[in-house]
């Protein structure tokens, strides 16, 4: 099983929204590196849910990959902000997954705490200038993060 980290602005879609909806299609990713990670996901993989552009930002919970290799429907929708005229149904450019809610952590693990506990080499999120919205998390690092939930 692989571990991942998914960024979302809570104003747009939050862990509470996912909890309410139970599952969601992780659509709208329009970055090739992020797309490649989405394509590498397997059913059962766990993903940390990260709130970005908040004060503070941080990991707020866990979700799980339920379904993989879904052609992102928003690329075909001319009214969607994610519409991509270069995509066709025969030859989709953007792929995604469906994720399900697993848990919301009692306390957010803030970016500051993550910086204190991990090095940028261990955790891609901490790399300078990192803007990826989908990224892998090494198994050992993921275990340590999970062990931190609920800790002060």
SS3 percent helix, strand, coil of the chain, rounded to 5, is 25, 30, 40
CB of 126 to DNA, least distance (A): 9
Could you give the string, one character per residue 13-32, with x where binding to DNA holds by CB under 7 A and - elsewhere? ------------------xx
How far apart CA 15 and CA 49 sit, in angstroms, is: 7
Cβ-contact 16, 104 below 8 angstroms: yes
129 binds DNA (CB under 7 A): yes
To which H or E segment does residue 21 belong? helix 15-21
CB 52 to DNA: min, Å: 4
Shortest Cβ 65–DNA spacing (Å): 19
Q: Does 52 bind DNA (CB under 7 A)?
A: yes
Return the residue of 1, 17, 20, 33 that touches DNA, per CB under 7 A: 33
> Could you give the CA distance from residue 143 to residue 152 in angstroms, rounded to a whole number?
17
Residues of the shown chain interacting with DNA in the complex, contacts defined by CB under 7 A: 7, 9, 31-33, 52-57, 111-112, 127-133
């Amino acid at each position: 099983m692989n571990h991942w980290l998914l960024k979302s602005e809570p104003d747009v879609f939050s862990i509470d929204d996912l909890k309410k909806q139970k599952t969601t299609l992780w659509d709208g990713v329009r970055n090739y590196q992020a797309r490649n990670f989405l394509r590498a996901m397997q059913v059962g993989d766990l993903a940390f849910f990260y709130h970005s552009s908040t004060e503070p930002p941080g990991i707020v919970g866990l979700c799980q990959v339920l379904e993989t290799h879904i052609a992102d429907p928003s690329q075909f929708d001319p009214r969607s902000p994610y519409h991509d005229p270069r995509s066709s149904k025969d030859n989709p450019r953007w792929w995604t997954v469906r994720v399900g809610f697993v848990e919301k952590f009692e306390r957010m693990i803030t970016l500051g705490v993550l910086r204190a506990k991990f090095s940028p080499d261990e955790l891609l999120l901490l790399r300078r200038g990192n803007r990826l919205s989908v990224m892998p998390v090494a198994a050992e690092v993921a275990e340590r993060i999970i062990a931190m939930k609920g800790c002060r």
